[in-house]
């Protein structure tokens, strides 16, 4: 009886919600089916760091009882996975790093709390670039994640495990974090839907920090409709997080029906430069034409300082990571060097053994730009440029409702292709970083294929315009089927 019309793993959150409500299957049946699928495909994809099968079945049974009692929450019985930098009580939280490979969190992050309170079932914690530093999911201590579309390719990063798990139909939805594009870029490379909300829209409490003024939690799903369901539960003010904004959360689901007719879509000239792959550019232009045919108005806009976003980001983010990661010293928790000679030896060897190469690179860069004699030349100047970039967006949004363009400059690239060239790797986020520097919401949705691999369309909106982004994405997905495409080995 379980999902006779469609295999359970191919159904979206919205479809699974209807199936559970109609009694087509139970949460336990759904959970068992997906856990079996994860066990089967995990060796090839390496999308998970921890699989919480026992906990998931307990939560599923509880969800079935709650539903039978007529008290089902908005996510009751629905399976989800969390990126492994959200603290989860009693479960490993590693951040993809050796330095935390034995850390069991004593509490839940706000995102984990809210999703659980809505009735969701946690199937596990997903693999990620170490401390969210990376664009390919290759810096993880637990090994790289494979892209379900071609297992020789990267799924992007740092939320690559979450994106791969959703793309491979191992789970319908996942949480992620986005510091410079780490939800949107892997969503583009795996053919999934990923949204980074406005900075402060979702609580960062219990989310292990990389760069505190840039990090924001979000979601990776199969569709904008599913993203609206999950984000609606996660969003909202939290007094435990000093960066959380007390701003009303609209009903994202109710906003999905809004037409794109009359929507002013800004097309950034600077995003269609020589760095963009020709086929990717063609697919994005096709998507813009689809929106235009549906009644949207395309408007050329300029972001004159957007070309400075990558160098600005790679001063600000390492500076903040240098400060945030100073707590990992081998004293209170995490990896501790054996038989230290003295306190300095404990610090040096614990951090030297615990951190990977990319984390060390960024910590050293950040410490340098914050040091006496260099603060004004680098960090202060970067913050000034950040304000110029933010003002560019503000000026553009005086003329348009959203800004559209490519999410990534290319389709998925080979694992190992860019690991020896950090600058080339950093340029994967060239179109996404600006939204983080300005604290703006952004969404990536599938808009076609180039050489058989997914291409993403990015929409960026003004602060707290998540409802507009989700509605625009949903309307586009009603006109196209790109978001329904699944990798051939995982259908």
Q: What is the pLDDT of residue 294?
A: 98
CATH 3.30.1490.20 fits 8-263+442-490, yes or no: no
Q: Which residues are catalytic, by number?
A: 83, 158, 182
CB 218 within 8 A of CB 176: yes
The answer for residues whose C-beta is within 8 angstroms of residue 142's C-beta and 6 or more apart is: 46, 49, 94, 96, 127
In tens digits, what is the pLDDT along the chain, a chain of 491 residues?
344 457 999 999 999 999 999 999 999 999 999 999 999 999 999 999 999 999 999 999 999 999 999 999 999 999 999 999 999 999 999 999 999 999 999 999 999 999 999 999 999 999 999 999 999 999 999 999 999 999 999 999 999 999 999 999 999 999 999 999 999 999 999 999 999 999 999 999 999 999 999 999 999 999 999 999 999 999 999 999 999 999 999 999 999 999 999 999 999 999 998 889 999 999 999 999 999 999 999 999 999 999 999 999 999 999 999 999 999 999 998 999 999 999 999 999 999 999 999 999 999 999 999 998 899 999 999 999 999 999 999 999 999 999 999 999 999 999 999 999 988 999 999 999 999 999 999 999 999 999 999 999 999 999 999 999 999 999 999 999 999 999 999 98
Contacts of residue 132, defined as CB under 8 A and 6 or more positions apart, other chains included, come to: 85, 95, 96, 158, 159, 177, 179, 182, 210, 215
Residue 2 is predicted with a pLDDT of 43
Q: How far apart are CA 213 and CA 191, in angstroms?
A: 28
Distance from C-alpha of 221 to C-alpha of 239, rounded to nearest angstrom: 28
The predicted pLDDT at position 6 comes to: 72
Instruction: Please tell me the predicted confidence (pLDDT) of residue 265.
Output: 98
Per DSSP (E only), the strands in 224-358 are 264-268, 297-301
Q: What is the 3-state secondary structure (H, E, C) of 111-165?
A: HHHHHHHCCCEEEEEECCCHHHCCCCCCCCCCCCCCECCECCECCCCCCHHHHHH
100 CB contacts (<8 Å, ≥6 apart)? 93, 94, 328, 333, 334, 335, 354
Spatial distance between the Cα atoms of 435 and 418, rounded to a whole number of angstroms:
24
Whose tokens are 């990717």? That residue is 280
CA 190 to chain centre: 12
Cβ-based burial of 338 (10 A; exposed 0-12, middle 13-18, buried ≥19): exposed
pLDDT for the residue 60: 98
> Greatest CA span in the chain, whole angstroms?
70
Parse the chain into domains and list their residue ranges.
Answer: 8-263+442-490
Structure tokens at 144: 């790289």
What pLDDT does 274 receive?
A: 82
Give dist(CA 171, CA 187) in Å, integer.
Answer: 14
Nearest one of 179, 131, 175, 183 to 157, comparing CA atoms: 183
pLDDT of residue 344: 96
Q: d(Cα 378, Cα 124) in Å, to the nearest integer?
A: 40
**In this structure, what is the dihedral angle of CA atoms 228, 133, 437, 292, given to the nearest 10 degrees?**
-50
pLDDT confidence of residue 5: 54
Of 478, 480, 484, 434, the closest CA to residue 458 belongs to 434
Intra-chain end-to-end CA distance of the chain, in Å: 20
Q: Is the peptide bond before 158 cis (omega within 30 degrees of 0)?
A: yes
């Amino acid at each position: 009886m379980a999902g006779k019309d469609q295999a359970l793993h191919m159904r979206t959150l919205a479809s699974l919600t209807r199936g559970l409500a109609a009694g087509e299957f139970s949460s336990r049946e759904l959970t068992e089916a997906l856990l079996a699928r994860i066990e089967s495909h995990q060796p090839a994809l390496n999308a998970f760091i921890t699989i919480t099968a026992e906990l998931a079945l307990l939560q599923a049974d509880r969800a079935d009882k709650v539903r039978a009692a007529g008290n089902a929450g908005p996510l009751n019985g629905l399976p989800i996975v969390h990126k492994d930098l959200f603290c989860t009580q009693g479960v490993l939280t590693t951040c993809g790093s050796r330095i935390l490979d034995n850390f069991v969190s004593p509490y839940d992050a706000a995102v984990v709390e809210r999703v659980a309170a809505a009735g969701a079932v946690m199937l596990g914690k997903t693999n990620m670039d170490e401390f969210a530093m990376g664009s390919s999911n290759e810096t993880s201590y637990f090994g790289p994640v494979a892209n379900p579309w071609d297992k020789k390719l990267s799924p992007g990063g740092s939320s690559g495990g979450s994106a791969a798990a959703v793309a491979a139909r191992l789970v319908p939805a996942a949480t992620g974090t986005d510091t410079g594009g780490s939800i949107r870029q892997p969503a583009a490379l795996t053919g999934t839907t990923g949204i980074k909300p406005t900075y402060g829209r979702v609580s960062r409490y219990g989310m292990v920090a990389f760069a505190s003024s840039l990090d924001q939690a979000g979601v990776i799903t199969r569709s904008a409709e599913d993203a609206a369901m999950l984000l609606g539960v996660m969003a909202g003010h939290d007094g435990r997080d000093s960066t959380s904004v007390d701003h009303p959360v609209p009903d994202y689901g109710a906003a999905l029906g809004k037409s794109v007719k009359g929507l002013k879509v800004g097309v950034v000239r600077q995003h269609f430069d020589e760095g963009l792959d020709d086929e990717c550019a063609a697919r994005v232009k096709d998507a813009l034409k689809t929106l235009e045919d549906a009644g949207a108005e395309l408007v050329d806009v300029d972001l004159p300082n957007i070309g400075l976003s990558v160098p600005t980001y790679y001063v600000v983010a390492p500076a903040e990571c240098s400060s945030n990661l100073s707590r990992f010293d081998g004293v209170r928790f995490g990896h501790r060097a054996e038989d230290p000679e003295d306190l300095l030896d404990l610090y040096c060897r614990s951090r030297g053994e615990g951190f990977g190469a990319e984390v060390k690179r960024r910590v050293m860069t950040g410490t340098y730009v914050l040091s006496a004699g260099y603060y004004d030349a680098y960090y202060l100047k970067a913050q000034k440029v950040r304000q110029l970039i933010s003002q560019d967006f503000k000026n553009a949004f005086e003329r348009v409702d959203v800004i559209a363009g490519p999410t990534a400059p290319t389709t998925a690239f080979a694992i190992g292709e860019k690991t020896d060239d950090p600058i080339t790797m950093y340029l994967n986020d060239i179109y996404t970083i600006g939204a983080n520097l300005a604290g703006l919401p952004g969404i990536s949705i599938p808009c076609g294929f180039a050489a058989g691999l997914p291409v993403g369309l990015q929409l960026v909106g003004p602060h707290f315009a998540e409802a507009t982004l989700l509605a625009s994405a949903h309307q586009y997905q009603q006109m196209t089927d790109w978001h329904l495409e699944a990798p051939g080995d995982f259908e």
